[in-house]
Structure 1
Amino acid sequence: MSLSNRYDFVLLFDVKDGNPNGDPDAGNLPRLDAETGHGLVTDVSLKRKIRNFVTMTRDQEARDPQPGEKRFEIYVREKAILNQQNQRAYSALKMDEEPAESATDEVSEKKATKDKKRKGAGEDVNKARDWMCLNFFDVRAFGAVMSTGVNCGQVRGPVQMTFARSVDPIISQEHSITRMAVATEAEAEKQSGDNRTMGRKFTVPYGLYVAHGFVSSFLAGQTGFDEDDLELLWQALAQMFEHDRSAARGEMSTRGLYVFRHDSQLGNAPAHTLFERIHVTRTADVPRSFAGYEVFVNDTEMPSGVTLLRKI
């Protein structure tokens, strides 16, 4: 069943003694706003966790779908080759392109075939795009650029998220760590058998982060994102950190998921006025747990046509 409502949501999550989102251009330090010192977690990082949750919970359905049911495969996954993913649509719909007969050598043949598939017939591209939306949850939800080779068009996803930003400035602590082993015999000889490897890790002692999200019913109608997909999204946002544990990330937890449902597709209030109803204030001088904050939700006199749904 397609969506008939617009949704805006606020996600609260925290980290304790962990690195929520390292910056590879800064030695994997926790991301932060250089001007204010507030911590940042990218939308890409959050979407990765949603994708992982869907893979974990719907893997069997993706591999062995029932007749007439949508599949829950993930398009952007680890070690995926996206053009091979795109080719699956053409193969499934029996629209495979043949190499150009006019090619006179291997190089020109590959180029001609590539150009032919990149351009494609408009009808074929539309069919391939619809197939990708039907089979891949993240294409239906977040959209994708699928015209990089085998042309499956472009999809603008109905679910969009902002960077998460910490409520207060964060500090990054650096820790020296020791591994009681080395990788090669040469390293062992240099250390006379001591066999130690030194390293570093960075953690945020504590940070509470806020992210905003949006769900467009108009775009959902174009991709086939339906009520079942929406419920899976809420479930993923609520539980994704519970199944993404690692030593680097410390303790991460979803602390609040506030969903504003509009009675109409167009919406009944601006998103920013709804987000401003969620107030997070510090109650401790130096918070080191969620107890150091207080969350106040102004749910009185909601705008006409807007309902607040507290998922957590």
Structure 2
Amino acid sequence: MTVTKRQELLFIYETKDCNPNGDPLDENKPRTDPETGVATVTDVRIKRTIRDYLHKVKEHEILVRDTVNSEGYLKDGKGRCEDFFGAAGISEKETITSLVSKVEKVILEKCIDVRLFGCTLPVEHGTGTKAKKSSIRLTGPVQFNGFNRSLHRIAPILVQGTAGFASTKQATQKSFREDHIVPYACIAAYGVVNEIAARSTGLTDDDVTLLLEGLWNGTESLISRSKMGHQPLMLMRITYNDGYRVGDLAGRIKLISEKEDIQIRSLNDYSIDVTVLVDSIVAAKGKIESIEVKQDDRLKFRDTGEECLFAKIQRLNEITINPLPNIG
């Protein structure tokens, strides 16, 4: 069934001794806010985690992934688009308008990431001066903040070590490597599922369930050297009755610790104050259809000074909080 209700997502996770999101234009150093010193993670990184999980684990087709041509080179957008010409039944005499319509229909049917996140895909048919060009543009109903932030300042460090191999044929010893890592970060990401945009991509409730699974399990499964150390801590979905949303869920929580921010190294060093968030939820309870939560029991929340699991917060007693399905 196509999504008909607006939803908000709050995802809290920790990273230890790794690089939450490297900047390829700055030696792959961890992204940070230069003014506040907090770590930042882009929506692109979060969507990559979800896409990889859905493709590699759930075996769903993904539009935005690395594919190669017959010569072994990475395909560009036009080349990736051509992968769907066969399924779309594109003929040599196809008009560009018809081609766009047919390919759009096929990628929406086949590619779950397009139904979730939308796409901008260049389309070209023919060669040389006779080539017909256009593009497919679909607004994704699921969006995350462009920059999702840690709840505290971090201090990246440079780690040097020995590489696995020599750098040249004539070398007599192995080369050295440098890694930029963050000792610890607790990061809060915010997302929205928009029911209006869902109509144009055909996003279903089952697709959103897979999104949530990919967000939690995909983060837990990150295994590359730079990403090993990710652990999901809490995922909450609020579903509304009438298009309302509280907004900026991540901005309504704050980390509390007796330690300096850059000294934080584990869950034992802090708790998360959700008083403002709970205030907002209580004020909107008449517009909320449901709240679902998955939480690592080690994560400590505080509401008006009282420590408890999120689902056990006293002020939310009048709102049913259910566990998220198919996660963990």
**Looking at both structures, which has the greater relative contact order when contacts are Cα pairs under 8 Å and sequence separation is at least 6?**
1
- Counterparts of 1:218 and 1:50 in 2: how far apart (Å)? 22
Task: Give 1:309's aligned amino acid.
Answer: E
- Counterparts of 2:257 and 2:215 in 1: how far apart (Å)? 24
2:192 pairs with one of 210, 214, 233:
214
Structure 1 consecutive aligned stretches of length 4 or more whose deviation exceeds 4 Å = 274-277
1:271 pairs with one of 247, 251, 257:
247
- Counterparts of 2:183 and 2:159 in 1: how far apart (Å)? 12
> Relative to structure 1, is the Cα distance of residues 177 and 74 closer, same or farther in structure 2, using a 3 angstrom cutoff?
same
Which is helix-richer, 1 or 2?
1
Asked if the contact 2:167/2:174 (under 8 Å) is kept, the reply is no
- Counterparts of 1:45 and 1:180 in 2: how far apart (Å)? 27
In the alignment of these two chains, the number of paired residues is 271
Which structure 2 segments of 5+ residues have no match? 69-74, 126-133, 296-328
Residue 243 (structure 2) pairs with residue 260 (structure 1): no
Aligned with 1:141: secondary structure?
Answer: helix
1:305 pairs with one of 262, 269, 287:
287
> Relative to structure 1, is the Cα distance of residues 149 and 169 closer, same or farther in structure 2, using a 3 angstrom cutoff?
farther
Asked if the contact 1:12/1:257 (under 8 Å) is kept, the reply is yes
Aligned with 1:4: secondary structure?
Answer: coil
Aligned with 1:185: secondary structure?
Answer: coil
Q: Give the equivalent residue in structure 1 for 2:272.
A: 295
Aligned with 1:49: secondary structure?
Answer: helix
- Counterparts of 2:178 and 2:161 in 1: how far apart (Å)? 6
RMSD: 2.1
Which structure's CA Rg is the greater one? Answer: 1
- Counterparts of 2:163 and 2:201 in 1: how far apart (Å)? 49
Which structure 1 segments of 5+ residues have no match? 60-71, 99-115, 189-194
After superposition, residues 183-262 of structure 1 pair within 5 angstroms as 183-188=167-172, 195-262=173-240
- Counterparts of 1:94 and 1:186 in 2: how far apart (Å)? 54
Per-residue Cα deviation, 1:120-163 (whole angstroms, up to 9, x for no partner): 12x44223212111100111111111234354621111010112
TM-score (norm 2): 0.76
After superposition, residues 1-312 of structure 1 pair within 5 angstroms as 1-59=1-59, 72-79=60-67, 81=75, 82-98=77-93, 120-121=96-97, 123-150=98-125, 151=134, 153-162=136-145, 163-179=147-163, 181-188=165-172, 195-264=173-242, 267-272=243-248, 274-275=249-250, 277-285=252-260, 286-297=263-274, 298-299=277-278, 301-303=282-284, 304-306=286-288, 307-312=290-295
- Counterparts of 1:89 and 1:232 in 2: how far apart (Å)? 23
Asked if the contact 1:128/1:152 (under 8 Å) is kept, the reply is no
- Counterparts of 2:219 and 2:251 in 1: how far apart (Å)? 25
> Relative to structure 1, is the Cα distance of residues 24 and 269 closer, same or farther in structure 2, using a 3 angstrom cutoff?
closer
- Counterparts of 2:30 and 2:251 in 1: how far apart (Å)? 27
